[in-house]
Structure 1
Amino acid sequence: MSLLDTGIAIAFSLIVFVLGVSFARSGSNVKSFFAAGGAVPWWISGLSLFMSFFSVGTFVVWGAIAYNTGLVAVIIQATMSIAGFVVGFFIAPRWNRTKALTAAQFIAERLGIKTQKFYTLVFLLISIFGSGAFLYPVGKMLEVTAGIPLSVSISLLGMLIIIYTAVGGLWAVLVTDVLQFVVLTAAVLIVVPLAFIEVGGVSQFINVAPANFFALTNAEYDGFFLAAFGFYNMVFIGGSWAYVQRYTSVKNAGEARKVGILFGALYLIAPLIWMLPPMIYRVINPDLDAAGAEGAYMLVSQLVVPDGLMGLILVAMVFATASSVNTTLNIAAGVFTNDVYKAVKANVSDREAMRVARLATVIFGCICIWVALSVADMGGIVEVVFSLAAITGVALFLPPVWAMFSKVQTGKSVVTVTILSLTVNGVFKFVTPVIWDFSLSRSPEMMVGVLVPILLLSLFEISGRMRVGESQQYQQYMAQWSTKHPRQSQREVADSASANVFARKVIGIGILAVAILLLALGLQASQGSWIIILMAVITGAASLLVFPGKLSRSALSKVLSV
């Protein structure tokens, strides 16, 4: 990277850090720290959900698939849009109506403390190891592009995430997610037209593309895989504890519905925009091997963007992955504080709970850094944990989601389903290839991971309805629900409203800072300057739209009238 790229990357990193720690005083109690007061604007929560789904894998793994297979990569990701709409209309509102602070709290109230302990242990192990594994490729990217030693880049990024997540809580996570969305969107919308110019236009790209490059499916990713992958994502988006937090932190079920719908709408459009750069690079340079294809996104960006913008794109990708890590840290600390620590110690004050929450964030963050630094030595273990998480999302997250809609499921039934499903998936993934030299291809593997828990839950559902109609656990849950979830006090409502206004101001300032960076880059760019300046103007207008009050609306009107 050039000196200007490095300067831009440092400047954006400082913007993210300052915005995150600006919420140091917003976390006065556990609800404000982990649920942002329970009245987050739906569009902030929706954009955060969208960004939390991103990682370096979006650009590396999916970029490689797009380079090699073309439109298939877009179609696979479009199934996430359908999943988002299903979650928005059915699952997200139901989560909000539980009035639980975390998914673990709902599991404890609906399915019992023992069930909660089981799922909490599994969740914490997989999420912390998974977040550590996310940090490693980010560190590797910084090492390759910026020349920063791997251990230093992992440690610095990890500490940066820990500080602003521990200080600012969920608000810090949400606001930085929105800013990352703006930067990544602006960057990709700049890269796409510049890449088309490089290849000779849209028609030239279509004419020169390889055969079947625009096919909707192929032998590896067939219709059965798409159906199973779509259902998997529906369960993952609707049941992953980190994402559940986005539905429970808005003020009512209607707002939660909008969160899911916004996610679905964005994934209806975003995959084509995100995947176009590596697809275009296939025409520019068709000779990349498998390893080289993983760098297609960075290669096309380096080829077409002017000096300085590469630094912004790189740091945006880095913080997109950081979004997954800080989301996990916040919810993991929330589960530990709200559902483990408070269960062990009674009558915990708000001040003590906040100390525990911030300490838990730091400890879990340090574990993530340790895992990332140890990947080279314990890569086999991390790969097993990561592979297991990837193929067992339905086994882990579907049973509690099912229990929200069922009157007969019990703690015993959902734990049994999870254990049996994990066992079946684990046998096909790790045992049969070694003992019998038999392994499932991608589509059957996904189908098994989806169908086994569905079949088992259906059997328990039918059996329960035939025997009892309503389980005793369900009756107890309904009887105690109103006493455990009183209405918000007037002070809590006022605090939430104040926090929302402050958050919009912070987001507006952050977006305006990004617009200024883009404008400066556009004015000195030797190529594509008009595209960059246009994105700077659009980004600046967005900052005025976000900023609360009459002043922003008046300023926006003047801009539009020019």
Structure 2
Amino acid sequence: MNNIDYVVMAVFALLILCIGMVFTYSGSKNTSTFFEAGGQTPWWINGLSLFISYFSAGTFVVWGSIAYQGGFVANGIQLTMMLGGLITAIFIAHRWKKTGALTAAEYIGVRFGVKTQQFYTTLTLLYSLFSVAAVLYPVGKMVNVASGISIEASVLIIGGIIILYTAAGGLWAVLVTDVVQFVVLSAAVLIVIPLALKDAGGIQTFASNAPDHFFDFFNSEYSIGFFFAFLLYQTIYIGGNWPYVQRYTSVSNEKNARKVAFLFTGLYLICPFIWMLPPMLYRVINPNLQGIEAEGAYMMMAQKVLPAGLVGLVLSGMISATASKANTTLNLVAVVFANDVYKKFFLLRLLTKP
């Protein structure tokens, strides 16, 4: 990476931090504003946030590796996310808004009782620790491949920035920075694709030099059975994962809750076919990556075709995807702890203590 790439990344990080901090005052007026943005967020902002929150650098590391090795199989897998979003839009999203609950934990408490709520709250808080770690590792890997900066240092810096603006601005900060991150990530990917196509010799050369069955949606490892099993998992995850439930409950009405999920569905129908092209093209350019090396295919393609400065933009876009997924989880943890742990258990016991 060139020095200008580091400058681009630093400017982007400062921009995201400033945008998030703008909402420090408005986001902390009261619990409703901080945790659900007053329940009046525009559906399209929530839809973009839901979509980008579903991404992380892991999308480019894990799915990019699968795209490099298996081609369209990566797209076939991601179509399960589109179908899961469609099922959520039709049957689930509006029902979450109809509950009137601030969190999924609150609804569980009403429906199944306090003990069940405590059990699921504990599991969610523990799971969130691991899930944030899981999304921060791939971005550390990408930064390490591109710049040589250690994974540990990358995780600490990026994680610190995310925590700062999420804690200061609440859900509004999360949503608005997600929209900015969506724009930056999309621009970064769209810059890489034509340059990568040119380097691969064009579409016809790419198609003729690709491995056999590279454009099949299924293979022996990722079969039709895997597709349907993963579809079930994705439907449960999109429709019931607590951070994503916030996107359905923080809009003004049930109709808009459905629109959030429909926008997610539409984006997942189109974007994977565009975003998985660079590692597929890199398979034709350099077919020699083995095993874990394939995880760096996306970044290697970007470094090969992009001039100084744009590599930093692409890497910033990938970091932003990770930031979006992490900030969503962190905001959810804050909601659950404040609303379902502190307020209902610790504070209640303190007030009722003789």
TM-score of the pair, normalised by structure 2: 0.95
Distance in 1, Cα, partners of 2:219 & 2:140:
33
In the other structure, the counterpart of 1:4 is 4
Partners in 2 of 1:216 and 1:140 — Cα distance? 27
Aligned partner letter, 1:23? F
Query: 1:137 maps to what in 2?
Result: 138
- 1:326 — aligned with what? 327
Q: Does 1:81 align with 2:63?
A: no
CA RMSD of aligned residues (A): 1.4
CA deviations on 1:238-273 (whole Å, 9 max, x unpaired) are 000010010000010000000000000000001100
Which residue pairs with 1:51 in the alignment?
Answer: 52
Unpaired runs of 5+ residues, structure 2, are: none
What residue number does 2:112 align with? 111
Which residue pairs with 1:165 in the alignment? Answer: 166
The answer on 1:34 being equivalent to 2:35 is: yes
Q: Deviations over 1:496-542 (max 9, x none)?
A: xxxxxxxxxxxxxxxxxxxxxxxxxxxxxxxxxxxxxxxxxxxxxxx
Q: Report how far residue 347 of structure 1 moved.
A: 11
2 CA distance for matches of 1:195 and 1:138?
22
1:196 aligned partner, one-letter code: L
1:371-386 aligned at under 5 Å gives the runs none
Map Cα deviations across residues 174-215 of structure 1 (whole Å, 9 max, x no partner): 111111111111111111111111111111111111111111
Aligned counterparts of 1:231 and 1:150: Cα–Cα separation in 2:
33
* Residue matched to 1:381: none
Give 2:314's aligned residue: 313
1:96 corresponds to: 97
The structure with higher relative contact order (CA 8 Å, sep 6+) is 2
Equivalences for 1:462-477 in 2 at 5 Å?
A: none
Distance 1:81 1:176 in 2: 23
1:224: Cα distance to partner?
1.1
Counterpart-to-counterpart distance in 2, 1:21 and 1:238: 30
Residue 203 of structure 1 aligns with which residue?
204
Look up the SS of the partner of 1:221 in the other structure.
Answer: coil
Amino acid at match of 2:284: V
Cα 1:279–1:150 change in 2 (3 A) is closer
CA–CA separation in structure 2 for the residues paired with 1:64 and 1:28: 44
Q: Cα deviation per residue 1:121-164 (whole Å; 9 max; x = unaligned)? A: 11111111221232233234334433434443322222111110
For 1:126 and 1:139, how far apart are their aligned partners in 2?
20
Separation in 1, partners of 2:240, 2:283 = 36
Shift of the 294–149 alpha-carbon distance from structure 1 to 2, 3 Å rule, reads: closer
2:63 is aligned with 1:62: yes
- Do 2:279 and 2:301's aligned partners in 1 also have CA atoms closer than 8 Å? yes
Q: Measure, in 2, the Cα distance between the counterparts of 1:141 and 1:82.
A: 29
Corresponding residue number in structure 2 for 1:154: 155
Alignment-derived partner of residue 22 in structure 2? 22
- CA distance in 2 between partners of 1:291 and 1:218 (Å): 20
Q: Corresponding residue for 2:226?
A: 225
Residue type of the partner of 1:13? Answer: A
Q: State the structure with more CA Rg.
A: 1
Counterpart-to-counterpart distance in 2, 1:138 and 1:116: 33
Question: Percent of pairs identical after alignment?
Answer: 56
Decide whether aligned partners of structure 1 residues 190 and 144 sit closer, same or farther in structure 2, where only a CA change above 3 A counts.
Answer: closer
Counterparts of 1:78 and 1:150 in 2: how far apart (Å)? 31
Distance 1:77 1:150, change over 3 A: closer
Describe the SS at the equivalent of 1:286: coil
Cα deviation, 1:308-363, whole Å, max 9, x if unaligned, reads 10001112111211111111110011001011111121499xxxxxxxxxxxxxxx
- The alignment covers a number of residue pairs equal to 348
CA distance in 2, matches of 1:16, 1:147: 23
Partner SS for 2:327: helix
Distance in 2 of aligned mates of 1:281 and 1:134 = 24
Task: Assess if the C-alpha contact under 8 Å between 2:61 and 2:138 holds in 1.
Answer: no
Q: Secondary structure at the match of 1:60?
A: helix
Q: 1:72 to 1:149 in 2, by over 3 A?
A: closer
Aligned to 1:259: 260
**Mapping of 1:111-510 within 5 angstroms?**
111-344=112-345, 345-346=347-348
